[in-house]
Amino acid sequence: MRILYIDDDAGVRRLVERLLERREHEVVTAGSGVEGVERALKDGFDVIAVDHYMPEMDGLDTLVALKKAGVATPVVYVTGSDESSVAVAALKSGAEDYVVKTPGSDFVDLLERAFGNASATAQLRKEKAASDAALKESNERLQILLREVNHRLANSLQIVSTMVAMQARLLSDAKARDALSDTQRRIDAIAQVHRRLYSSDEVQSVAMDEYLAALVAELQETWSTPESPRAIRLSAEPIRLHTDKAVSLGVIVTELVSNACKYAYPEGSAGEVRVELANEAGQRFKLAVEDDGQGMDPSAPPQGTGLGSKLIIAMARALSSRVEYDRHHAGVRAVLSAAA
C-alpha cells in the first residue's frame, strides 16, 4: 500500500517508514498536521495514519481538516493513550480504526493490520455507494419509463373516448347514444387515473383526493345542465391507492354518481349528490355516495341496461368488498368499505 504517516516525532516516523518499507509498502511521512493535509491533497494514498499528540494541530484537528478538504482516503488514528474517550472521538471524527502506540515492532504489526482493515472497509463502503447509486439510477429510469407508459396510455384512452363520443353523435337511437355516453364516461374515469400517474412523482399509487376531485369535476360538467342542475359535492381525505384499486374505485364512483344524476331527481329539477372518501381503522377506507332524491326500489327492474350495476358489483369484488345500500336513508346512500 501507499501510506501517508503523520507524526511530529521524527524517530517514530523513521521507524515506521523503515519497518513498513521492509514489508514492501511505500511510505511518505509528514511532521505536522498542516504538512500532512497538504501532502494528502497533493498525492494519492491508499491509507493515512494520524498521530494524536501533535503541537499546533493535533490529530483530531487534522482529521477534521482532512475531511473538510474532501480527502476520502481511509484514516487510522494513532495515540499513545489507551483512553477510550480519545478513540471514540477519533472514530466520531471520521477515522476508520485506531491503534495504541507501543514501543517496538509490535506497534507496526498492529498498524499494518489496521491499515488492511481500514482499506478493506473503505473499499466495501465505496462499492456499496456505487451499488446504491446504480440502483437509484435504475429506479429513476424505471420511474421515467412508467410515466411515459402512463402518459401514452392516457392519450390512447383519450383518443378512444373521443371516437366513442363521435360515434354517439352519429346515432339516431337515443338508447344507443346513452349507452355510448356511459361507455365514454367509464373510459374517462380510467384515463384520469393514468393522467394522475404520469403527472405525479409517485407512479405506482394514486392520490385519491386529487383523482376524485378531477373525476367529480368531469361528472359535474357532464350531468349539470341549466334545465336540470346537479351539484356534486366531494369530501375526500388524503388516501393513496395502488393503480388497480384506484381504477376500480373510480369506475364505482362514476357509476353511482351517474345513476344519482340520472334517476334520483325528476327531470327539470335541481339536485345534490355527495361523495365522501374517508380513512378507517386498520388501513381501510370507506366510500359513500348519496343523494336526497326519490330513493330506490330494490325489487324494481333496472331503469337502464343494468350494465352499470354489474360493473359496480365487479369493481367492488376486485376490491374484495361489496357496495351496500343504507335502507334508512331518505334517498339513496351507497357505501363501500375496503382495504387500502
| pLDDT at site 337 | 96
Write down the pLDDT at residue 298.
Answer: 66
Q: How do residues 180-218 score in pLDDT, each as one tens digit?
A: 888 888 888 888 888 777 667 776 788 999 999 999 999
Which segments of the chain are extended strands (E)? 2-6, 26-30, 47-51, 75-79, 97-100, 205-207, 230-236, 240-242, 271-280, 284-291, 324-325, 333-339
Q: Is the pLDDT of residue 86 over 90?
A: no
Q: Which of 47-61, 80-94, 269-283 has the lowest mean pLDDT?
A: 80-94
**Tell me: the pLDDT tens digits for 140-185?**
887 787 778 778 888 888 888 889 889 988 888 888 888 888 888 8
Architecture of domain 2-132 in this structure = 3-Layer(aba) Sandwich (3.40)
The rounded mean pLDDT for the chain is: 89
pLDDT of 104 higher than 70:
no
Q: What is the CATH number of domain 144-339?
A: 3.30.565.10
Same topology between domain 2-132 and domain 144-339: no
* Cα gap 315→287, rounded to integer Å: 13
Model pTM? 0.58
Locate the domains of the chain by residue range.
2-132, 144-339
pLDDT at residue 33, rounded to an integer = 93
Contacts (Cβ under 8 Å, ≥6 apart) of 65: 33, 37, 57
Predicted pLDDT of residue 79: 86
- What is the share, in percent, of the chain residues with pLDDT greater than 90? 46
Percent of the chain's residues with pLDDT above 70: 96
Helix, strand, or coil here: 180? helix
- Residue 335 scores a pLDDT above 90: yes
Give the pLDDT of residue 138.
86
Indicate left, alpha or beta for 230 from its phi (over 0: left) and psi (-120 to 50: alpha). beta
For the record, the C-alpha cell of 7 comes out as 507524526
Residue 304 has pLDDT above 90, yes or no: no
pLDDT at 105: 66
Pairing relationship of beta strands 205-207 and 97-100 according to DSSP bridges? unpaired
Condensed to tens digits (0 to 9), the pLDDT of residues 249-288 reads 999 999 999 999 999 999 899 999 999 999 999 899 999 9
Lowest-confidence region among 43-47, 160-164, 273-277, 304-308: 304-308
* Mean pLDDT, residues 10-26 taken together: 90
Would you report the helix, strand and coil content of the chain in percent, each value rounded to 5? Answer: 55, 20, 30
Indicate the residue type of 168: A
